């Protein structure tokens, strides 16, 4: 029915009247009609295909195809020995997990290779002001497997989704096919035609761009986007470290330190392995990548531990050595770090010491500050060091119009974000959940799923939601990328105050999706999540003790701020006088 019904007749006509070489050309340009064509086999595209393919309402109603340039069988057959992990790890919020469970894809994910995040330690690299998030504070059950989020290798997730797709016959996977061009007729409302490099042409009632930051679908739909690239590269790798000692909890705490050059994050993926996401200046990133893995491990340990001034110093050493073409050896960097530690009088037994603990002292009673910093990294898993540039990008709309109508964007094709809060894929999965709901709703009401009216609720629901989180992450990055005294004071006070306010912390975590939303209707807010949120908020207000503490923190902070400002003014005045004196 959806294929042109007269194709066989046309074919037989050609068979009798055309020479073979022309026949091949004609054969290769048969248009295939699909209701949904998803371009891009990344996590977002695959999740969308799974969501649509698993909806009982859509069985035998929609003809769906997923187009991917790469070879998906590689992902499908991906496996990795125990203990070694791929360098691309994402954090899935509870909301995202709940969505994947609903569609049934979660059953195909290898759970043993994932790890829950039950606590988060985030601190200011300059002032050491700290905020902690923990599952128990948020009224989530701290027992059991779940935390506020779960870390999973992107490949593990993609493989799970692919396995799920293979288990359902409704979605046709067209891989090893690059989109060459997308065209459309002049007539308004006509279906976009996706030309593949294999010669196939797919006509799409609805063309979904899940094709990443350089989306061909977006350029076809002529959807403008705005954004900027951060002067930042993110280094990723998988780090090995000893398991936590017998007096400590499991490796389920994520750490993030905001250095003025960018945040460095430690994401636990198993008892002895964790993933690194280190955003930093491109020159430094290049230098660090060029280092030996053992040197990089030292640098990571130091970056979580040393005071900012020393971190800056050893970064300069690395940079100079890199520019001079003589990279530092492990002994040299060790000596540097040791010297800096001594000058800051960091005790060798303290958790802030970057020295690799000897095996003999591992079973001793840990230092009291051991929870404040991640475990000491002993080595980097070979071949896992990589880096990529960071960008902020948001399209002006998600739905194409005019010549580019019948198109819609999801995931990175619509928005790219700084990874500091680990929200990129979660936003994408939020898009996917909403769009699949929108499509189902439209199909149930006989709508044309490519029509603007049918897709409008998707933009309405997702755009603001995404924008909120995206700009929050952007502002965070900007606030923390300075070491200007008064601003450091201000943000530190802010953070400490925040740390005391359970209610606001809870609200932050809610909006970051740590509570799954059961959202069955288009444009409806979930009451469950709201109730939990207000409960926690109410609890926070109850405690007057907290309020007193907050007042103290604010007072101290403001005093510090005033002193700091005066100091800055004094310094400025001093240097001004100095300058005047210097002038003869």
For residue 453, the minimal CB distance to another protein (Å) is 5
Task: Give 208: exposed, middle or buried? Use CB within 10 Å, 0-12, 13-18, 19+.
Answer: buried
Task: Supply the DSSP string of 64-104, one letter for each residue.
Answer: EEEE-SS-HHHHHT----TT---S-EEEEEHHHHHHHHHHT
Considering the rule CB under 8 A, would residue 457 count as an interface residue with another protein? yes
- Joined tokens for residue 213: 């930051």
CA atoms in the 13 A half-sphere facing the CB of 215: 37
Query: Contact, 322 vs 328, CB < 8 A?
Result: no
Which residue, 205 or 241, is less far from another protein as judged by CB? Answer: 205
Stretch that binds another protein, among 45-53, 260-268, 438-446, 552-560 (CB under 8 A): 438-446
Which residue, 382 or 402, is less far from another protein as judged by CB? Answer: 402
For residue 61, the minimal CB distance to another protein (Å) is 5
For residue 114, the minimal CB distance to another protein (Å) is 32
What kind and span of H or E run contains 378?
none
For residue 203, the minimal CB distance to another protein (Å) is 9
Considering the rule CB under 8 A, would residue 141 count as an interface residue with another protein? no
Considering the rule CB under 8 A, would residue 10 count as an interface residue with another protein? no
- Residue 263, phi then psi, degrees to nearest 5: -75, 145
Contacting another protein (CB under 8 A), which of 224, 446, 545, 581? 446
Q: Pick the closest to residue 252 from 231, 234, 267 (CA basis).
A: 267
For residue 11, the minimal CB distance to another protein (Å) is 18
Distance CA 52, CA 408 (A): 15
Which residue, 273 or 442, is less far from another protein as judged by CB? Answer: 442
Which residue, 239 or 449, is less far from another protein as judged by CB? Answer: 449
Distance CA 413, CA 209 (A): 6
Query: Contact, 88 vs 237, CB < 8 A?
Result: no
Which residue, 452 or 534, is less far from another protein as judged by CB? Answer: 452
Contacting another protein (CB under 8 A), which of 10, 335, 444, 558? 444
Considering the rule CB under 8 A, would residue 245 count as an interface residue with another protein? no
Considering the rule CB under 8 A, would residue 520 count as an interface residue with another protein? no
Contacting another protein (CB under 8 A), which of 456, 551, 562, 566? 456
For residue 199, the minimal CB distance to another protein (Å) is 21
For residue 30, the minimal CB distance to another protein (Å) is 14
Considering the rule CB under 8 A, would residue 7 count as an interface residue with another protein? no
Judged by DSSP in three states, 391 sits in: strand
Query: Contact, 357 vs 331, CB < 8 A?
Result: no
Stretch that binds another protein, among 67-75, 333-341, 442-450, 535-543 (CB under 8 A): 442-450
- Joined tokens for residue 325: 């073409």
Stretch that binds another protein, among 98-106, 446-454, 487-495, 532-540 (CB under 8 A): 446-454
Specify the residue for token string 């037989």. 12
Considering the rule CB under 8 A, would residue 452 count as an interface residue with another protein? yes
For residue 454, the minimal CB distance to another protein (Å) is 8
Size of the site for another protein (CB under 8 A): 31
Which residue, 87 or 440, is less far from another protein as judged by CB? Answer: 440
For residue 237, the minimal CB distance to another protein (Å) is 45
Order the strands of the 149-153 sheet from edge to edge.
89-93, 149-153, 115-117
Sign of the Cα pseudo-torsion (327, 331, 335, 338, in order): positive
Distance CA 305, CA 309 (A): 11
Reduced 3-state DSSP string for 19-74: CHHHHHHHHHCCEEEEEEEEECCCHHHHHHHHHHHHCHHHCCCCCEEEECCCCHHH
Which residue, 33 or 379, is less far from another protein as judged by CB? Answer: 33
Q: Which of residues 166-225 bind another protein (CB under 8 A)?
A: 187-191, 205
Which residue, 401 or 465, is less far from another protein as judged by CB? Answer: 401
For residue 449, the minimal CB distance to another protein (Å) is 10
Q: Which of residues 14-53 bind another protein (CB under 8 A)?
A: 33
Stretch that binds another protein, among 254-262, 306-314, 343-351, 435-443 (CB under 8 A): 435-443
Distance CA 543, CA 433 (A): 38
Binning the chain into helix, strand and coil, the percentages to the nearest 5 are 50, 20, 30
| Long-range residue pairs from 426-429, CB within 8 A, at least 24 positions apart, any chain | 426/91, 426/92, 426/93, 426/95, 426/96, 426/513, 427/466, 427/469, 427/470, 428/43, 428/44, 428/47, 428/210, 429/43, 429/44, 429/47, 429/92, 429/96, 429/99, 429/100
Cβ within 8 Å of residue 64, ≥6 positions away: 34, 35, 36, 37, 38, 49, 52, 53, 170, 171, 172
Binding mask 459-498 for another protein (x = CB under 8 A): -x--------------------------------------
Contacting another protein (CB under 8 A), which of 214, 445, 520, 521? 445
Q: Which residues bind another protein (CB under 8 A)?
A: 1-2, 4, 33, 56-58, 61, 187-191, 205, 401, 441-448, 451-454, 456-457, 460, 523
């Amino acid at each position: 029915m959806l294929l042109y019904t007269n194709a066989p007749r046309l074919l037989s006509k050609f068979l009798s009247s055309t020479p073979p070489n022309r026949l091949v050309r004609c054969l290769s340009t048969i248009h295939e009609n699909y209701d949904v064509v998803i371009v891009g086999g990344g996590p977002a595209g695959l999740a969308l295909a799974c969501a649509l393919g698993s909806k009982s309402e859509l069985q035998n109603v929609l003809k769906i195809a997923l187009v991917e340039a790469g070879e998906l069988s590689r992902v499908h057959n991906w496996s990795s020995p125990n203990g070694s992990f791929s360098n691309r790890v994402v954090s899935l919020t509870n909301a995202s997990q709940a969505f994947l469970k609903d569609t049934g894809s979660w059953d195909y994910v290898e759970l043993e290779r994932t790890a829950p995040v039950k606590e988060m330690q985030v601190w200011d690299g300059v002032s050491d002001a700290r905020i902690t998030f923990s599952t128990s504070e948020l009224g989530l059950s701290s027992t059991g497997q779940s935390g506020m989020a779960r870390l999973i290798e992107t490949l593990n997730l993609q493989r799970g989704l692919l396995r799920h797709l293979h288990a359902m016959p409704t979605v046709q996977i067209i891989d090893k096919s690059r989109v060459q061009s997308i065209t459309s007729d002049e007539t308004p409302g006509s279906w976009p035609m996706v030309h593949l490099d294999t010669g196939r042409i797919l006509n799409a009632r609805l063309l979904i761009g899940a094709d990443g930051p350089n989306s061909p679908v977006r350029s076809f739909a002529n959807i403008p986007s705005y954004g900027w690239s951060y002067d930042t590269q993110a280094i990723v790798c998988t780090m090995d470290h000893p398991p936590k000692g017998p007096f400590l909890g499991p490796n389920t705490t994520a750490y993030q330190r905001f250095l003025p050059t960018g945040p460095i994050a430690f994401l636990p993926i198993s008892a002895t392995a964790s993933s690194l996401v280190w955003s930093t200046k491109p020159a430094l990133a290049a230098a660090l990548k060029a280092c030996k893995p053992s040197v990089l491990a030292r640098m990571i340990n130091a970056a979580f531990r040393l005071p900012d001034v020393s971190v800056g110093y050893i970064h300069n050493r690395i940079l100079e050595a890199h520019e001079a073409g003589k990279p530092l050896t492990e002994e040299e960097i060790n000596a540097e770090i040791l010297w800096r530690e001594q000058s800051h009088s960091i005790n060798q037994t303290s958790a802030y010491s970057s020295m690799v603990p000897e095996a003999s002292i591992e079973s001793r009673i840990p230092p009291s500050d051991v929870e404040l910093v991640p475990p000491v990294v002993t080595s980097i898993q070979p071949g896992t060091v990589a880096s990529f540039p960071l960008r902020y990008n948001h399209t002006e709309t998600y739905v194409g119009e005019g010549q580019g109508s019948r198109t819609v964007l999801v995931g990175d094709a619509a928005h790219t974000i700084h990874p500091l809060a680990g929200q990129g894929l979660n936003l994408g999965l939020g898009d996917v959940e909403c769009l699949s709901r929108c499509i189902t709703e439209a199909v149930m009401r006989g709508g044309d799923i490519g029509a603007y009216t049918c897709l409008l609720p998707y933009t309405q629901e997702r755009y603001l939601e995404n924008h909120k989180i995206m700009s929050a992450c952007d502002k965070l990055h900007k606030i923390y990328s300075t070491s200007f005294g008064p601003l450091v004071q201000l943000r530190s006070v802010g953070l400490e105050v925040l740390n005391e306010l359970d209610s606001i912390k809870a609200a932050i975590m809610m909006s970051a999706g740590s509570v799954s939303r059961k959202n069955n209707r288009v444009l409806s807010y979930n009451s469950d999540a709201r109730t939990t949120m207000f409960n926690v908020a109410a609890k926070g207000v109850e405690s007057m003790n907290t309020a007193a503490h907050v007042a103290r923190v604010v007072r101290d902070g403001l005093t510090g701020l005033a002193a700091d400002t005066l100091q800055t003014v004094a310094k400025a005045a001093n240097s001004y006088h100095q300058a005047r004196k210097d002038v003869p």
